A = this chain, B = another copy of it.
Amino acid sequence: MDLGISGKWALVCGASKGLGAGCAQALVREGVNVLINARGSEVLALAATDLRAFGADATRAGGSKWSQPTVLAVAADITTAEGRAAVFSAAGGPGHDFDIVVTNAGGPPTGDFRTWERETWIKAVDANMLTPIELIRATVDGMAARGFGRIVNITSSAVKAPIDILGLSNGARSGLTGFVAGVARSPLARHGVTINNLLPGRFDTDRLATTLMATAEKMGTTLDAVRKAQVASIPAGRFGRAQEFGAICAFLCSVHAGYMTGQNMLADGGVYPGTF
């Protein structure tokens, strides 16, 4: 399927590994130029190298229907104004003229809401709610002027089924979700701009590995036992793969998904039990 987005420019945040990297790879495979962002420059540089190889392969495999996509890497903290400025002024990049923006930030820490002071909340709100909103604000009018745009916010299945210890994430990400539902249906929609959220359940990433390890230690059991128990609770019988997550993201960014906006796409192997 030709996604019709080769030659477009995408910003992908949190792209050095995990789900963000999966999204960047899927886009590069479709000939999309990407600017990847994360805080740590070393891992990000490695990710960029990988992406360039993927891009070269895909270009060859695609019979050179498109030229090899550009891959830029900007190591910066996207949750700060300075970080965003760095991304939007990167040499060789499109400035603010991204056609695709994939927002993605690591979740805030788990914990007990009794211990969260205002600054803890504000930090979560900044990272998981206001940063995506700032990225949307910085790019959607340009997208609308050019008649095409795709925002994909990577949130979490916890937006649909929050759990106690993830209160900071539940709160901040739900805040983003509420905002998106309004703006996605605003006059921007008339100009080819879609804004959707993509909600991962449990995916096999470094982050998950860390969580599983912590759980195993806490429960005095083995990593393998924890993995098995978790997998058993997923109807699909497995964790998700970053690559398939990336493919869903790329599809949402395609020309074919232009009639889908304001949606919350859940990829969780059937864990969330609700009909809607």
A residues with a Cβ closer than 8 A to B are 1-3, 26, 29-30, 63, 113-114, 118, 121-122, 125-126, 129-130, 133, 136-137, 141, 158-167, 170-179, 181-187, 189-190, 201, 235-237, 240-241, 244-245, 247-248, 250-251, 254-270, 272-276
6 contacts between A and B (CB under 8 A): A125-B129, A164-B185, A170-B181, A172-B178, A236-B258, A265-B265
Given A113-B179, A174-B175, 9 more pairs with CB closer than 8 A: A113-B183, A162-B179, A163-B182, A165-B182, A174-B174, A174-B178, A177-B178, A178-B275, A259-B268
Q: Determine the chain B residues whose CB is within 8 A of the CB of A257 once the complex forms.
A: 244, 247-248
Are B175 and A178 in touch, CB under 8 angstroms?
yes
Q: Are B179 and A177 in contact (CB under 8 A)?
A: no
Residues of B within 8 A of A3 (CB): 1
Contact of A171 among B175, B272, B276 (CB under 8 A): B175
**Neighbour of A133 across the interface among B113, B235, B241, CB < 8 A:** B113
Contacts of A125 in B (CB 8 A): 121-122, 125, 129, 175
Task: List, in ascending order, chain B residues with CB within 8 A of A184's CB.
Answer: 235, 270
CB distance from A73 to the nearest CB of B (A): 24
Q: Are B235 and A248 within 8 A (Cβ)?
A: no
Contact A178 B182 (CB under 8 A): no
Count of chain copies: 4
Query: What are the residues of chain B within 8 A of A237 when measuring CB–CB?
Result: 189-190
A1 contacts across to B, CB distance below 8 A:
1-3, 26, 29-30, 247, 250-251
Interface centre among A129, A181, A185 (most CB of B within 10 A): A181
Q: In the assembled complex, which residues on chain B have CB atoms less than 8 Å from the CB atom of A236? A: 189-190, 258-259, 261
Answer whether A270 and B264 are a contact pair too, CB < 8 Å, given A63-B63, A175-B129, A183-B164. no
State in angstroms the CA–CA spacing of A187 and B261 once bound together: 30
Closest to A255 in B: B244
A114 contacts which chain B residues (CB < 8 A)?
A: 137, 141
Give A263 to B171 CA distance when docked, in angstroms.
16
Most B CB contacts (10 A, CB to CB) among A166, A235, A275 go to A275
The distance from the CB of A121 to the nearest CB of chain B, in whole angstroms, is 6
